[in-house]
Amino acid sequence: MPARHDLTTDPGLQEQLLQARRGTAFFARKLNELTDTELDGGSLLPGWTRRHVVAHVGYNARAIARLVEWAGTGVETPMYPSTEVRDHEINFGATLSPIALRNLFDHSAVHLSAEWRDLPGRDWANEVKTIQGRTVPATETVWMRTREVWTHAVDLDNGATFADIPEPVLERLLRDITGAWQARGTDAGLVIRVVGTNMEFGDKGGRDPVTVSGPLAGVAAWAAGRTAAAGGSGVTASRGTEVLSRVPAAPKWI
């Protein structure tokens, strides 16, 4: 039987799908390096074990697949009935046996990839709604998943750092985070600068702001609240000509 390919012929979207699938493969590799016993260990997310991270990523694939189905059929199928249901699902998933937890990740990832593959090009512009209530085109589901798998692969606390994440993903992630801060007004008095680039975000017109700067991976890790996963970040903070003794905590992202 010949291999089946994505129905979309949009080269930009095809590249985004490749990045999402590479992130899924990276998460799978970091997960497979863990023994069943190590799944009980802590993650980089406060209050979550590695089991919670795996359950979340698995159920997230199912939730995003529902949005892709919505785009293809026109029948509204929300990601989750509510955030409470989502949280309960994650906590339940964390109690699964190791083999069931691993199967949840594997099977849900394959299902989502197939839903993307079989979505006709004309349906990618159809709008769906995220758990946060945002109305977005189906193309956004690819970025939603890309962000999850790459970031949570690091959260498994199994040696991966933000330096392992491709630069295009880091750039978009940083733009997403700083955009959320700006929308909420939580970036007041704060400028974020990526050294060696023209990327600069935050309260650039503010008076005497604190400037956080460093390489892309380090700044993105800091912005995402994962300084411990920055991989020798090189992130510094300054106010005017004064170098501060510590880098302030980033504003809340999500």
pLDDT given for residue 230 in this prediction: 54
Q: Going by C-beta distance under 8 Å and a sequence separation of 6 or more, which residues neighbour residue 85?
A: none
Lowest mean pLDDT among 3-7, 95-99, 198-202: 3-7
pLDDT given for residue 253 in this prediction: 86
CATH says 11-160 is which class? Answer: mainly alpha
pLDDT given for residue 254 in this prediction: 78
| CATH (residue range 167-243) | 3.30.1050.20
pLDDT in tens, 169-213: 999 999 999 999 999 999 999 999 999 999 999 988 878 899 999
How do the domains of the chain map onto residue ranges? 11-160, 167-243
Of 227 and 17, the structure prediction assigns the larger pLDDT to 17
List the structure tokens of 211: 């400037």
What's the average model confidence in pLDDT over 7-14?
Answer: 95
What's the average model confidence in pLDDT over 70-77?
Answer: 97
Q: In what order do the strands lie in the sheet with 200-202?
A: 200-202, 190-194, 210-214, 236-239, 242-243
Mean pLDDT of the chain: 93
1 pLDDT band, cuts 50/70/90, is very low
Sign of the torsion formed by the C-alpha atoms of 176, 182, 186 and 192: positive
226 pLDDT band, cuts 50/70/90, is confident
